[in-house]
A and B are shown apart, each in its own frame.
Chain A
Amino acid sequence: METLNIFVKGIFIENMIFAYFLGMCSFLAVSKKVKTGIGLGAAVVFVLGITVPINYLLENYVLKEGALAWMGAEYATVDLSFLSFIMFIAVIASIVQLVEMIVEKFAPALYGALGIFLPLIAVNCSILGGALFMQERQYTSVWDATSFGVGSGIGWFLAIVAIAAIRERIKYSHVPAPLRGLGITFIITGLMGIAFMSFMGINI
Chain B
Amino acid sequence: MSTEVKTAEPKESLFSKKNKKLVTDPLSDNNPITIQVLGICSALAITVQVQQAVIMSLAVTFVTFGGNVVISLIRNIIPSRIRIIVQLVIVASLVIIVNEILKAYLPDISEKLSVFVGLIITNCIIMGRLEAFALGNKPWPSFLDGLGNGLGYSWILVVVAVIREILGSGAISFPGIGQIKFLSPEFMASTGYMNNNFIILPPMALVIVGVIIWIQRTRNKSLIESH
- Residues of A near any B CB (own CB < 8 A): 18-25, 28-29, 82-86, 88-90, 93, 119, 122-129, 132-133, 135-136, 171, 176-187, 189-194, 197
* Residue of A24, A127, A191 most packed against chain B (CB within 10 A): A24
Scan B25-57; emit 1 where CB is below 8 A from any A CB, else 0: 000000000100111111111000000000000
Instruction: State whether A93 touches B84 (Cβ < 8 A).
Output: yes
Tell me whether chain B's interface is mostly helix, strand or loop, or mixed: helix
In the complex, which of the residues A119, A125, A193 has the most CB atoms of chain B within 10 Å of its own CB atom? Answer: A125
Assembled-state Cα–Cα distance A82/B216 (Å): 41
Is the Cβ of B121 less than 8 Å from the Cβ of A24?
no
> Does A25 lie within 8 Å of B225, measured CB to CB?
no
Closest to B207 in A: A190
B225 touches A123 (CB 8 A): no
**Interface residue? B157 (CB, 8 A):** no
How far apart are B159's CB and chain A's nearest CB, in angstroms? Answer: 15
Interface centre among A90, A126, A171, A186 (most CB of B within 10 A): A186
Cβ < 8 Å to A, chain B residues 126-163: 127
Verify A183–B214 contact, CB threshold 8 A.
Answer: yes
Contact B92 A190 (CB under 8 A): no
Q: A-contacting residues of B (Cβ < 8 Å)? A: 34, 37-45, 84-85, 88-89, 92-93, 95-96, 99-100, 114-115, 118-119, 121-124, 127, 201-207, 209-211, 213-218, 221, 223-227
| Listed A/B pairs (6) with beta-carbon separation below 8 Å | A20-B45, A82-B99, A84-B118, A178-B223, A179-B210, A189-B206
Chain B residues within an 8 Å CB radius of A177: 217, 221, 224
CB of A28 within 8 A of CB of B41, answer no
- B203 in contact with A125 (CB, 8 Å): no
Extra contacts besides A19-B202, A132-B115, A179-B217 (10): CB < 8 Å: A23-B41, A123-B122, A124-B122, A125-B122, A133-B115, A178-B214, A179-B210, A186-B207, A187-B211, A193-B206
B119 near A132: Cβ-Cβ < 8 Å: yes
Chain A residues with Cβ below 8 Å from B115 are 129, 132-133, 135-136
Q: What is the distance, in angstroms, from B87's C-beta to the closest C-beta of chain A? A: 9
List of 8 A-B pairs having minimum Cβ-Cβ separation, nearest first: A193-B203, A186-B210, A181-B225, A178-B217, A125-B41, A190-B206, A132-B115, A190-B207
- How distant is the Cα of A187 from the Cα of B217 in the complex, in angstroms? 15
Q: A128 contacts which of B119, B210, B226 (Cβ < 8 Å)?
A: B119
